[in-house]
Amino acid sequence: MDDIRFAVLGTGGIGRRALEVSQAKQGLTPVAACDRHGIAVDHDGLDVDELLAATEGNVASAADRREAADGRAATGESREPQTDGGTATVKQHGEQAGVVASAQARPTETPIADTIAESDAIDAVLIALPNLEHDFIPEVAAEFAAADYKGVLVDVLKRSRVIGLLDERPDAFEESGITFVCGAGATPGFLTGAAALAAQSFVEVEAVDIHWGVGLQSGYEDNRGTVREDIAHLPGYDNESARDLSDDEIEAIVDDHNGVIEFEDMEHADDVLLERAGICDAADVTVGGVLDVRNDEKPTTTTVTVTGKTFDGERATNTFELGDETSMAANVNGPALGYLKAGVRRNRAGEYGVFGPADLMPGF
């Protein structure tokens, strides 16, 4: 495939790892990266090593996160590494935390508008922002559409209901020329695609079960936003209440679970993404998992099982398992960039609108 110039919105755990993984991929040139305070642009290709070294462990604070969630900042990044007391212990370069620590970056109050201003030379944008407000990522996408961006947007959002918000905007995406690939991380994303492929043996899919294991000891500091979003899936919590938890409260929840938190029947968009691809009913999809923030070893093997009936009347289960040594970061960012490439191909062929991972697989 021809070279793809891409930008990353958000330079937290996912954004930075996406930049890193792209270095090992063919045909991907990162040309812009921003967080709420700054933006780095180089159309000849960012110096990713410099950017990572400057920003590692150096992202926006909890106060910034709440500001973003309140809608007072254009772009937010909640994967903030902090001590329990909320005081940033990370190294600080430049005048502010975040991407401006990189010598390639400059401060800005309007990072998304600044990215859009460069977008004639950007083929794809990975939206690696937290989505603690359900309409945050759809609103970001709407800004790109309003600016007549022609290209690909990819997000790694998780919640089923967000897909509906995106699906309300196909006209804006099509008029602008946007191919929006939604839910393109690990789950939904990688595992949704695996379910879609595993379904190919069947003429009727009866049940899809996605069960993930994540060991996040060494990645915990860099992925607190993800942990917070996961806690929002626990009984008694939702995005709003999880957003308002102090870091101490998060730690207390983690302690209550001895560092190992189990999730059942999560609201993960795999369900609606498989339904809209015609593979099964959303109700037939279950997602659960086990998160261990005190070990890197996975507490359970990440497994997708798809049970269905074949045309010749048999019932069977196809299975997809990820090796336990694969980290969450590997399973989010590889597929995110893989779907980004698939999205660019679609975009260049003139296919616009909203695509889920299963739409980028063989048809069912």
DSSP 107-152: E-S-HHHHHHHTGGG-SEEEE----SSTTHHHHHHHHHHHTT--EE
Binding-site string for a copy of itself from residue 178 to residue 197, where x marks contact by CB under 8 A and - marks none: ------------x--xx--x
Residue 226 labelled as part of a binding site = yes
Residue 137 labelled as part of a binding site = no
The contacts of residue 323 (CB under 8 Å, 6+ apart) are none
Say whether residue 53 binds a copy of itself (CB under 8 A): no
Residue 225 labelled as part of a binding site = yes
Say whether residue 297 binds a copy of itself (CB under 8 A): no
CA distance to 75, 188, 230, 286, per residue, from 263 (Å) = 29, 15, 8, 11
Say whether residue 342 binds a copy of itself (CB under 8 A): yes
Say whether residue 314 binds a copy of itself (CB under 8 A): yes
166: which 2 tokens?
């995106």
Residue 14 labelled as part of a binding site = yes
Binding a copy of itself (rule: CB under 8 A), the pick from 2, 24, 44, 255 is 24
- Is the CB of residue 201 less than 8 Å from the CB of residue 315? no
Binding a copy of itself (rule: CB under 8 A), the pick from 13, 76, 185, 357 is 357
Closer to a copy of itself by CB, 158 or 341: give it: 341
Say whether residue 283 binds a copy of itself (CB under 8 A): no
Closer to a copy of itself by CB, 1 or 117: give it: 1
The contacts of residue 150 (CB under 8 Å, 6+ apart) are 176, 177, 178, 347
Q: Is 25 a catalytic residue?
A: no
Say whether residue 201 binds a copy of itself (CB under 8 A): yes
Closer to a copy of itself by CB, 4 or 100: give it: 4
The contacts of residue 300 (CB under 8 Å, 6+ apart) are 211, 212, 213, 289, 290
Tokens 């400057």: give the residue.
54
Say whether residue 351 binds a copy of itself (CB under 8 A): yes
Residue 222 sits at the vertex; the CA angle it makes with 116 and 321, to the nearest 5 degrees, is 95
- Is the CB of residue 100 less than 8 Å from the CB of residue 37? yes
Nearest-angstrom CA–CA distance, 120 and 166: 23
CB atoms within 10 A of CB 207: 14
| 213 CA to centre of own chain | 17
Residue 308 labelled as part of a binding site = no
Closer to a copy of itself by CB, 61 or 333: give it: 333
DSSP code of residue 12 = S
Active-site option among 158, 211, 298, 341:
158
**Which helix H or strand E contains 261, and what residues bound it?**
strand 260-263
Q: Is 56 a catalytic residue?
A: no
Binding a copy of itself (rule: CB under 8 A), the pick from 25, 66, 134, 257 is 25
For the CB of residue 102, give the shortest distance to a copy of itself in the complex, in Å. Answer: 20
DSSP code of residue 318 = E
Say whether residue 78 binds a copy of itself (CB under 8 A): no
For the CB of residue 6, give the shortest distance to a copy of itself in the complex, in Å. Answer: 12
Say whether residue 299 binds a copy of itself (CB under 8 A): no
Pairing of strands 303-309, 285-292: unpaired
Q: Is 240 a catalytic residue?
A: no
For the CB of residue 233, give the shortest distance to a copy of itself in the complex, in Å. Answer: 23
Which residues are designated catalytic? Answer: 158, 229, 233
Binding residues for NAD(+): 10-14, 225-226
Binding residues: 10-14, 225-226
Q: Which residues bind a copy of itself (CB under 8 A)?
A: 1, 17, 20-21, 24-26, 190, 193-194, 197-198, 200-204, 278, 310-312, 314-327, 329-331, 333-335, 337-342, 345-346, 349-351, 357, 360-364
